[in-house]
Amino acid sequence: MRAARPGDGPALVRTTRALAEHHGSLDGFAVTAVDFERDLFCDSPIIGALIAEDNGDVAGSVVWHRSYSTNRGHEIMYLEDIVVLPEHRRKGVARALMQATARLAIARGYSKIFWMVVDWNEGGKKLYQSLGADIDPEHRLCTIDGDALKALAA
């Protein structure tokens, strides 16, 4: 387990692409290695990434970003993606990634991590609950983009 470093862009495209494939959202998948390298290693980055390795191969990743709690008045962490590549499953990689994420959050002084899971991901929900996470039944995810966003701004 290690923080992403320059040169990890292609590995992060591989892992996030595997996730997009799993979610059936490859159509909108446009991120490139250059994007990751630019946004991870700029001044004052808002994102960060962790890479899990298995015998020297990239086995999975986490991409997180800085978030903010208006209740608490300080930064917290949003976990954007956690991915374990299919050939590295059932070896505790997801748990190790979550633990490394929690350590990083605490090292950065964050009191909370939040993220989304799709309701049909029973394995994911079970893992998160086993790690002490709360899965809230009440909140719904809203998005606006594309033409709808342009129309609202017009």
CB closer to a copy of itself, 55 vs 143: 143
Maximum Cα–Cα distance across the chain: 53
Radius of gyration of the chain (CA): 16
In the region spanning residues 72 to 131, those forming contacts with a copy of itself, defined by CB under 8 A, are: 72-75, 78, 80-81, 98-99, 102-103, 105-106, 111-120, 125, 128, 131
Contact 46, 63 (CB under 8 A): no
∠ CA 36-39-44, nearest 5°, is 150
**78 tagged catalytic:** no
CB closer to a copy of itself, 5 vs 103: 103
In the region spanning residues 11 to 40, those forming contacts with a copy of itself, defined by CB under 8 A, are: 12, 16, 19-20, 25, 28-32, 35-36, 39
